[in-house]
Structure 1
Amino acid sequence: MKMKNSGYVVIMILLISFFRESFSVSYTNFDAFFKNITGGKNINLRPVLDHKSKVNIYMFFHLINIQEFNEVEGKLSLTGYFNISWVDQTISWNSTDNEIEEVTLEEHIIWKPSFIIGNSYDGVKFIHKDHTVMRVQSNGVVKWTPGDNYEVVCNADVSRYPFDTQLCKLQILPWGYTSEEIVVVPIYDYIVQLWFNPQKTWEFIESSIAKNEGLQLLEFSMKLKRNPMFFVLNLILPICVMIILNIFVFLLPPESGERVGYAVTVLLAIAVFLTISSDNLPATSSPRISSISLLLFTDVVISAVIVLMVILSLRYYHREDTYLVSSFMRGFVNVSRILRCQVCSCRRKKEKYNETGNEEEIKWTDVGKEIDIICGIFITVVICIVNALYIIDVTVGLPGLD
């Protein structure tokens, strides 16, 4: 019984060996096949049997990573590869004869199209490095997947920084061929993101592809949106805190002697944030100046006005009583008190201020206090309006600025 089973095993091994030899390709046969399909090729000639025929080049771009977007330099760094295919009419074989479906060839063995980056950041750049390979199928279809790190020009629009959205483009066009010789055909109308690694600073929103028929140029457009939380916490909120602290200068007692120093310190702090912001933005006013730059400039102007107001109020507060309070200043103090009482619905104080004979009781210290109150209210309203306009501008946009 064991001998019988052993006989079956031997027969099975012989059959497997036979079929393996029948369907395998030896190195010698493969080498001869390789020399047959590549020998005598002129890689400078387009792979068409009729020289007047056009070569259709099918292409799509696969984005892998957005390395960096430098707004100041206007440079976008991408990592990805192109999937390019065409039909080589000079190479084809019957795969049933030798069981070879496709082969891998180096790029210098057969013809391939040349493409450059139309908006390269640093000179003329081809879309591939040397020593890339191509796969050739038995029906003559050649597939080429060159990949690299591509640096392209992308002028940033920082009008609504850091809540901005950028539109960057990667332009590809054939080098040395006309539209009568090759035709570039985009396979998809978008950028493939099958293995895309999201970037922490920029969010990929959408993509599109446009073609220039005359130049056979493909334009891969990418819409990127900034993640603003880091800039909100490290730039915008500190600016808001600084400008709010500016208001409290009018609550400091004039006798402390720190009011002018406090106001100047806040002014310098806002100027420092203005410097930090300008370092992160391109030195351009096209299409318009950044909203954050306008906000910081306005805050600097407001802080400078506050310094002047503080100096003015202290001058009146510390004026000697030997100088009589002018009628204009007495009227200013009375009107200010009455208006504040009407707003606060304080009837008793209103009646007190309307009584005759109270004008003689007004002193220079009262004038200084009223100036502080009026300036504090005025600056608070101005700051609220400025910040409200900034919020509207970065969200929906202000008419006249866009």
Structure 2
Amino acid sequence: MKIQNGGCVVILIILVSFLRESYSISYRNFDEFFKNITGGKNINLRPVLDHKSKVDIYLFFHLIYIKEFNEVEGKLSLTGYFNISWVDQTIPWNSTENGIEQFTLQEHIIWKPSFIIGNAYDGVKLIYRDENVIRVQSNGVVTWTTGDNYEVFCNADVSRYPFDAQICNLEILPWGYTNEEISVVPIFDYVVHDLLNPQKTWEFIESSVTKREDLQLITFSMLLKRHPMFFVLNLILPISVMIILNIFVFLLPPESGERVGYAVTVLLAIAVFLTISSENLPATSIPRLSSISILLFADVSISAFIVMMVILSSRYYHREGEYPVTKCMRGFVNVSRIVRCKMCCCSIKKGKYSEKENGEEIKWTDVGKEIDMVCSIFITVVILIVNALYIIDVAV
């Protein structure tokens, strides 16, 4: 029994030694193969057997994350990587001889094309990172995958904020080569985004890829749509509620003495709210001012107008006994009553109102009440029109 166990141990040791020797030989063979493939190559020369031939370069962009979009500065920050491939005519080998189908190496060991971001935000930048690797296949196909955080220009149109959508481009073009030396071909007509992480403000809608032949410029266009719900709930709805509350000041009895205070309080509340919320508004007027900025300015103006009319109405209401009602104010009251159909048709003769026939004397309190009534109707109509125009503008 002991002899059998000892024999098994000897056999196991021999097998392990054999496997170690096989691994050592395999590594040495691969190292020799690697040196034969990459040694003595001039990485400055294009990998073609005929120097007059073009190198066809195929690429696509894979979007991973939309990091930031600053509409004021026009800066879009993207995280992703380029997959670039070409055929190196000086590399192909017979994989059946050594069993090696493909391998990887550092990108500075063999030739690779130079590319720049055409619309980089901080100047011209080459697509290059020392830590990137290149995969080489036995048929000579070389695949270079390089990723980074890319900051590019994107002119934003915030006229429909916060219901706006922006089209931003990522441009890439070869650097230092002519059209006779290389040809750049996009693999897909869209931006690959199957690994895209959701962004809190922007939603990726669609994309397209175009090529400008004279410059070999590849443009990756992306349509981004803003998520509006946060801005609706925290900006548009609160200011709309406050401006509606402002109208109810005309329902307060003039005798209460709180009308002016109420109107001024709402105006100050709107002003303070806009001051706090101003950081959420796009601080730009190119190509034109955003509709939401115009709407908010209109709301503040309406609120200020309400304060003025409340003061004027209160002034007239408490003017009784100081001066007689002027002819102009009597005419205003009469026209207002006629328009609101408060008078009988028999009270109107030849288009004019006769106080004597009606037997009613117009007082300053009547003037104040009519101002309240007219202003409440007029301002309500104005608010509806302003908001309707805003909705039409952002919807069209």
TM-score computed with the length of structure 2 as normaliser: 0.89
Structure 2 residue 335 is the aligned partner of structure 1 residue 335? yes
What does residue 10 of structure 2 align with? none
* Matched letter for residue 267 of structure 2: L
Report the CA distance between 1:79 and its aligned residue.
1.1
Report the CA distance between 1:271 and its aligned residue.
3.0
What does residue 356 of structure 1 align with? 356
Structure 2 residue 171 is the aligned partner of structure 1 residue 167? no
User: What is the aligned length?
Assistant: 389
Return 5+ residue gaps in structure 2 as ranges: 1-13
Report the more deviating stretch, 67-76 or 34-43: 67-76
Tell me, in whole angstroms, the C-alpha distance in 2 between the residues paired with 1:168 and 1:304.
40
Tell me, in whole angstroms, the C-alpha distance in 1 between the residues paired with 2:235 and 2:362.
45
Tell me, in whole angstroms, the C-alpha distance in 2 between the residues paired with 1:256 and 1:329.
24
Report the CA distance between 1:348 and its aligned residue.
11
Report the more deviating stretch, 322-331 or 196-205: 322-331
What does residue 5 of structure 1 align with? none
Alignment of 1:53-68 (within 5 A): 53-68=53-68
Identity between Structure 1 and Structure 2 (%): 79
Report the CA distance between 1:72 and its aligned residue.
2.4
What does residue 31 of structure 1 align with? 31
Residues 182-205 of structure 1: CA distance to partner in whole angstroms, max 9, x if unpaired? 111100100111212222321111
* Matched letter for residue 110 of structure 1: I
Structure 2 residue 352 is the aligned partner of structure 1 residue 382? no
What does residue 147 of structure 1 align with? 147
**What is the SS of the residue equivalent to 1:124?**
coil
What does residue 219 of structure 1 align with? 219
Tell me, in whole angstroms, the C-alpha distance in 1 between the residues paired with 2:274 and 2:210.
39
Report the CA distance between 1:341 and its aligned residue.
3.1
Alignment of 1:1-400 (within 5 A): 26-276=26-276, 278-341=278-341, 356=356, 358=358, 361-396=361-396
* Matched letter for residue 252 of structure 2: L
Tell me, in whole angstroms, the C-alpha distance in 1 between the residues paired with 2:268 and 2:25.
80
1:142–1:361 Cα change, 3 Å: same
TM-score computed with the length of structure 1 as normaliser: 0.87
Tell me, in whole angstroms, the C-alpha distance in 2 between the residues paired with 1:171 and 1:395.
30
Report the more deviating stretch, 295-304 or 166-175: 295-304
Report the more deviating stretch, 21-30 or 164-173: 21-30
Residues 31-70 of structure 1: CA distance to partner in whole angstroms, max 9, x if unpaired? 1101111111111111112222111110001111112222
Q: Is the 8 A contact 2:355 2:361 kept in 1?
A: no
1:125–1:275 Cα change, 3 Å: farther
Tell me, in whole angstroms, the C-alpha distance in 2 between the residues paired with 1:218 and 1:277.
40
Tell me, in whole angstroms, the C-alpha distance in 2 between the residues paired with 1:367 and 1:355.
15
Return 5+ residue gaps in structure 1 as ranges: 1-13, 397-402
Tell me, in whole angstroms, the C-alpha distance in 1 between the residues paired with 2:86 and 2:95.
19
What does residue 7 of structure 2 align with? none
